[in-house]
Amino acid sequence: QVQLAESGGGLVQAGGSLRLSCAASGRTFSRPGMGWFRQAPGKEREFVAAITWSGGTTYYADSVKGRFTISRDYVKNSVYLQMNSLKSEDTAVYYCASAGGLPLDKSYTYRYWGQGTQVTVSS
């Protein structure tokens, strides 16, 4: 089992920044990568960003490219999502997830999910 705990969500004005953190614990070895997804009210969960755990290759949804940056920390067993130039359409619950395989931009790849953290961007 893998436990994931997100933090860092909150309320921010449009154009502002937030940094989400996700700490992993439990049986975290042998994971291909980790990712962030989000779900806005009335919408399906969508891919935001992912990173391979060994090589650090990153993947982004088109809607966040150039604004969001995903990174990981081996020592802290954590993954981060730096979100800049936030827009009202970024408002959603953001979920951290640990992948069981590939591809990393599909939710069905992920075996473990965090509880989510709310991000609200006011215009």
CB atoms closer than 10 angstroms to residue 37: 24
**Cα distance between residue 118 and residue 37, in whole Å:** 12
Model confidence over 70-106: pLDDT tens digits?
999 988 999 999 999 999 999 999 999 999 899 999 9
Give the residue-averaged pLDDT of 15-36.
Answer: 89
**Cα distance between residue 14 and residue 36, in whole Å:** 20
State the pLDDT confidence band at 108, using cuts at 50, 70 and 90: very high
